A and B are shown apart, each in its own frame.
Chain A
Amino acid sequence: MSKTIQEINEKLKKGKAVVFTAEEAVQMAKEQGVAECAKKIDVVTAATFGAMCSSGAVLNFGHSEPPIRMSEITLNGVEAYGGLAAVDTYIGATQPGKNTGIEYGGAHVIEDLIAGKEVELVARSCGSDCYTRKDIKTNISLADMNQAYIFNPRNAYQNYAAATNTTKKTKRTYMGTLLANMGNITYSTSGEMSPLLKDPKLRTIGIGTRILLCGGEGYVVFEGTQAINKATELPSGDMHYAGYTLAVMGDMKGMSSEYIKAATFEGYGVSMYVGIGVPIPVIDEDMMADLAVPNEKLYTYVCDYGFSSRSREEIKRVSYAQLRSGQVEIGAKKIRTAPLSSLFKARKIAGELKEKLLDGSFEMTQPAAMLPHRDSMNVLNIKGEK
């Protein structure tokens, strides 16, 4: 038995397709088995809502009269990139404000714009014969702009190490506040709802896959930065997948501030919670087998974030079911766990995508190209240093 995306889209149009959220599909597979699910289900919606630092927005302001070629740009006091054409810019989510620091940064500007608020645009230029204006100060909203789209180079991490801290001092990290002496563990993956854990071999998600991005229509546009295919077979036969990422884009004008949230990580910096929903077509039974994998059989490592190193010590492999139980045992110690990504929001996104597929307002796309396989990731060697 196998189905194409086109065939499933036809079924959706006729109102005959069956769409389940990832959690519903996992539950049904536990009750009825993978083969039965493969026959019954056409699409499974996966979703995640977590902090994704490698995010930002491309904006075009339109031209003033007389025009300016903006080179130093701030939006609500947050610096945006001035090295593109006259009135194009890119604002990065993690950029702290010049006066507001990490309490209000790039992600906050993006969230405010999506919420429909005006932001203050200040820009300077050295001026030229064709762009005589040297400075500008005005308020601008999303509706005033020409194009405004999210372009996130690394989102939707397939899997992410859970964090703990073995040192004697509290550490403030992008994985939250980590208490001394392994006082807590934080984790940040939606587990059995996570898009790239549900399609771990990248059989259906590719370049051009239409997704829900921050509540609006978006696309997978490339492999994400630092993408790597890691797959380890455990003695139990379960697979431990990790490492792949997606670059995504989407029109900010269709987005909802319910599915994007600026974040301040104390002692670390600004980040942005991004909501992503991905429809995964049940093209065959093997696909359904991957979609059916529950939290009990999805794994990550608890790593030591107490030290600053690009390779962190992997302390223990744990399942997402263990992490979600609220407690993980390491040695003789029972350690409290806490999520950082919102499962509540991920569920809402998966549910909303399911509704959109069923009511015909969201059609699945055939990828224009599949995502490349990456065996390794480079590190930055400091040349000349002994």
Chain B
Amino acid sequence: MENKCIKIGLTFPPEKADKPIVTNLVKYGLTFNILRAYISPGKTGNIILEISGSDDDIKRSLEYIEAQGIVVKIYTDSVIHYEEKCMHCGACTSVCPSGALVMNKETWELEFNMDKCLLCGHCVRACPARAIKSFDEAII
């Protein structure tokens, strides 16, 4: 069965912020990459993960996480590049760590590849035209 790779955001309520839960994803047959993890002053925990596994394994593990009282968000377009506002200057490419934002060397237009995006959010602040936005506070 083909493996799928998705990015998810987990919000831990204060009473769960100190519990080891993500590690159990291995038991569901998933591999994961922690892109970001922090605990806010109010003890709410946030983790952004890239997980991969079969559809079934992903489904079962998300059910497990939610059963622990953790809110799951699946990121598909949480960093949005507004092409009509973009002037293709390239400022965002200078801070993008993964090559998700690159200049096309023929047309010198900006290209955005969400699959490569690590959801670090550096581009949101680096864009002079404010053409890149994220509605998720966990990212910016």
Interface residues of A (CB under 8 A from B): 49-51, 103, 176-177, 179, 184, 186, 261-266, 271, 273, 324, 326, 336-345, 347
In this complex, the member of B88, B91, B109, B122 whose beta carbon has the largest number of chain A beta carbons within 10 angstroms is B91
Q: Which of A179, A271, A273, A342 contacts B90 (CB 8 A)?
A: A342
Interface bin, chain B: 10 to 19
The number of inter-chain residue pairs (CB within 8 angstroms) is 71
Q: Are A342 and B88 in contact (CB under 8 A)?
A: yes
Cα–Cα distance between A324 and B129 once the two chains are bound (Å)? 22
B95 contacts A184, C-beta separation under 8 Å: yes
Contact of A273 among B87, B103, B107, B126 (CB under 8 A): B87
Q: Which residues of A contact B105 (CB under 8 A)?
A: 324, 326
B78-117 vs A, Cβ < 8 Å mask (1 yes, 0 no)? 0000000001111101110000000101011100000000
6 closest A-B pairs by CB: A338-B94, A263-B128, A339-B90, A343-B108, A344-B88, A344-B108
With A177-B95, A184-B95, A326-B105 known as contacts, the answer to whether A340 contacts B122 (CB < 8 A) is no
B91 to chain A, nearest CB (A): 5
Interchain CB contact under 8 A, B89 and A336:
no
When chains A and B are docked, how far (Å) is the Cα of A18 from the Cα of B87?
30
A103 to B108, CA, bound (A): 26
Contact yes or no, A273 B122, CB < 8 A: no
Q: Once bound together, how far apart are the Cα atoms of A351 and B130, in whole Å?
A: 27
What string of 1s and 0s marks CB contacts (under 8 Å) between B47-91 and chain A?
000000000000000000000000000000000000000011111
Question: For the complex, what is the distance from the CA of A124 to the CA of B63, rounded to whole Å?
Answer: 62
Whether B125 is near chain A, meaning CB under 8 Å from some CB there, is yes
Bound-complex Cα distance A344 to B129 (A): 15
Cβ B122 vs Cβ A177 within 8 A: yes
User: Are the C-beta atoms of A342 and B108 separated by less than 8 Å?
Assistant: yes
Chain B residues within 8 Å of A264, by CB = 128, 130
Q: Which residues of A contact B87 (CB under 8 A)?
A: 49, 261, 273, 342, 344-345
Residues of B within 8 A of A271 (CB): 128
**Sample (10) of A-B pairs whose CB atoms are under 8 Å apart:** A176-B95, A176-B128, A184-B95, A261-B87, A263-B128, A266-B126, A338-B90, A338-B103, A342-B89, A347-B108
